[in-house]
């Protein structure tokens, strides 16, 4: 008998505060032609046939999802069948839950205010960091001592470095932010070689909270050959209403326009194209600008589709989540610990966290595998007995210990 076709359950991530990822998935409109599929007999439809059928008929999938969607939230009739006294108690519990939801909303509001309070204390440290990076001041002896590693540096190496600096004085820490960004995988994947020349002029990355729930990332640049902006910003907004648990729900992002200098737009590349004159039949080669990959596309974020939008890209949901996560990485990782990303120390902590998560998931998988093995042992115990008997007849039987080891492998 063929296995039933199981519907994949949707994942519902935790609703975000300004530190978390968005809870609501971007709505995606699906429009396709009406299916022309004949009736299907369940007993003759295996998984491979079903997969092939759905692949050829996306409209069928859309129709099924629509039918299932109409059932979501419908009452099964159980609550309505309860006695009036019991239904009254159920309504009372709902009233208590509403009070709980109000407190959850207040909790999130107070968490945000606490974040803002400590962000005000962080700001002078960020300003001090920026001044040192750009060569405005030198760190104090106390700051240097606090930042030194436990092991002492070799005196000979220090003297060589000091002589080297005497002949070539360096102002601040060149390419600090570019180096820090390239050490973070999610950002490094976005940076092209062309982008690096512009990002070498990045003097600071900072963050500020908005008047409404949300935050703004601000990138400051020195004068350069690519654009006239002194700052380029990107703002992340949350919805006015809170989520189910009182959390803030991500809505959309907006980037400030970049004032590119002539022929310096890094988000475009020139492509040669032949054109033929209809009258003279002569052919000429012209240069046209086409979009290309660039970190600066970060400031032109994807927008959530409207309900009546019929031209929604199939990957819009993934792009929205990726865009939000990049903003969170800059806000929660890069800005607070920029020096650790510059030195590469933050990479070790990231890898350690990833390893811990992998170990946790592997343990869960192992437990599942053990349960499956136990079930298989019960179901196929008699089959193993038959196999062992046949081995003995052939004279090729092995010790039971070896057989158990093979089974575990």
Per DSSP, the residues of 275-306 read EE-TTT--EEEEEEEEE---GGGGGS---PPP
Range of the domain at 338: 108-139+172-261+295-305+316-360
Alpha-carbon gap, residue 202 to 197, rounded angstroms: 10
Find the range with the poorest average confidence among 38-52, 107-121, 211-225, 298-312: 38-52
Predicted local distance difference test score (pLDDT) of residue 270:
85
Predicted local distance difference test score (pLDDT) of residue 26:
34
Residue with tokens 């019929």: 310
**Per-residue pLDDT band at 349 (split at 50, 70, 90):** confident
**Does residue 385 carry a pLDDT above 60?**
no
**Per-residue pLDDT band at 56 (split at 50, 70, 90):** low
**Beta partners for residue 270, in sequence order:** 289
With beta carbons less than 8 A apart as the criterion, state whether 152 and 253 touch.
no
Phi, psi (5° rounding) for residue 339?
Answer: -65, -35
Predicted local distance difference test score (pLDDT) of residue 232:
98
Whether residue 375 is contained in a domain is answered as no
Whether residue 132 is contained in a domain is answered as yes
Whether residue 80 is contained in a domain is answered as no
Predicted local distance difference test score (pLDDT) of residue 159:
55
Whether residue 212 is contained in a domain is answered as yes
**Does residue 74 carry a pLDDT above 60?**
yes
Per DSSP, the residues of 9-48 read PPP-PPPP-TTS--SSPPP-----PPP------GGG--HH
Q: Which residue has the higher pLDDT, 47 or 262?
A: 262
Whether residue 392 is contained in a domain is answered as no
With beta carbons less than 8 A apart as the criterion, state whether 255 and 243 touch.
no
pLDDT over 90 for what percent of the chain? 43
Predicted local distance difference test score (pLDDT) of residue 382:
46
Predicted local distance difference test score (pLDDT) of residue 267:
95
Instruction: Read off the pTM.
Output: 0.65
Find the range with the poorest average confidence among 88-97, 133-142, 274-283: 274-283
Whether residue 180 is contained in a domain is answered as yes
Predicted local distance difference test score (pLDDT) of residue 293:
94
Q: What is the mean pLDDT of the chain?
A: 76
The neighbour count for residue 388, using CB atoms within 10 Å, is 13
Phi, psi (5° rounding) for residue 251?
Answer: -110, -65
Whether residue 200 is contained in a domain is answered as yes
Q: Which residue has the higher pLDDT, 122 or 45?
A: 122
pLDDT in tens, 195-216: 999 999 999 999 999 998 899 9
The number of domains in the chain is: 1
Q: What is the CATH number of the domain that holds 239?
A: 3.30.1120.90
Predicted local distance difference test score (pLDDT) of residue 217:
98
Per DSSP, the residues of 198-237 read HHTTEEEEEEEE-SSSEEEEEEEE-S-SSB--SEEEEEEE
Predicted local distance difference test score (pLDDT) of residue 182:
96
Q: Which residue has the higher pLDDT, 44 or 137?
A: 137
DSSP-based three-state secondary structure for 51: helix
For 205, what's the count of Cα atoms within 13 Å in the CB-facing half-sphere? 25
pLDDT in tens, 314-335: 567 788 889 999 999 999 999 9
Alpha-carbon gap, residue 258 to 229, rounded angstroms: 7
pLDDT in tens, 101-143: 889 988 988 999 999 999 999 999 999 999 999 999 999 999 9
Predicted local distance difference test score (pLDDT) of residue 183:
95
**Does residue 225 carry a pLDDT above 70?**
yes
**Per-residue pLDDT band at 308 (split at 50, 70, 90):** low
Predicted local distance difference test score (pLDDT) of residue 359:
65
Whether residue 61 is contained in a domain is answered as no
């Amino acid at each position: 008998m063929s296995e039933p076709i199981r519907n994949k359950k949707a994942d519902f991530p935790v609703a975000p505060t300004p530190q978390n990822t968005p809870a609501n998935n971007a709505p995606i409109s699906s429009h396709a032609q009406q299916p022309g599929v004949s009736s299907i007999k369940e007993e003759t439809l295996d998984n491979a046939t079903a997969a092939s059928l759905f692949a050829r008929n996306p409209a069928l999938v859309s129709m099924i999802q629509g039918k299932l969607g109409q059932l979501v939230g419908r009452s099964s009739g159980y609550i309505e069948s309860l006695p009036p006294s019991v239904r009254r108690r159920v309504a009372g519990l709902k009233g208590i839950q509403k009070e709980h939801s109000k407190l959850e909303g207040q909790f999130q509001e107070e968490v945000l205010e606490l974040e803002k309070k400590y962000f005000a204390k962080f700001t002078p440290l960020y300003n001090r960091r920026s001044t040192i990076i750009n060569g405005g001041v030198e760190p104090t002896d106390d700051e240097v001592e606090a930042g030194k590693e436990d092991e002492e540096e070799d005196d000979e190496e220090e003297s060589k470095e000091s002589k080297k600096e005497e002949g070539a004085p360096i102002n601040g820490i060149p390419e600090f932010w570019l180096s820090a960004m390239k050490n973070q995988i999610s950002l490094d994947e976005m940076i092209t070689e062309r982008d690096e020349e512009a990002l070498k002029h990045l003097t600071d990355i900072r963050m500020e909270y908005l008047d409404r729930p949300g935050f703004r990332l601000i990138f400051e640049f020195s004068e350069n050959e690519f654009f006239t902006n002194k700052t380029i910003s990107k703002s992340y907004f949350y919805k006015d209403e809170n989520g189910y648990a009182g959390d803030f729900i991500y809505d959309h992002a907006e980037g400030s326009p970049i004032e590119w200098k002539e022929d310096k737009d890094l988000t475009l590349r020139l492509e040669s194209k032949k054109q033929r004159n209809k009258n003279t039949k002569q052919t000429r080669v012209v240069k046209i600008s086409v979009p290309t990959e660039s970190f600066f596309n970060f400031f032109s974020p994807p927008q959530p589709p409207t309900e009546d939008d019929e031209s929604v890209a199939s990957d819009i949901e993934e792009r929205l989540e990726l865009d939000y996560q990049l903003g969170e990485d800059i806000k929660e990782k890069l800005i607070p610990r920029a020096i650790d990303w510059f030195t590469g120390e933050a990479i070790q902590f990231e890898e350690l966290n990833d390893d811990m998560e992998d170990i946790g998931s592997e343990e869960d998988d192992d437990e599942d595998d053990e349960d499956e093995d136990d079930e298989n042992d019960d179901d196929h115990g008699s089959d193993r007995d038959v196999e062992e008997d046949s081995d003995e007849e052939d004279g090729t039987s092995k010790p039971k210990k070896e057989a158990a080891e093979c089974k575990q492998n």
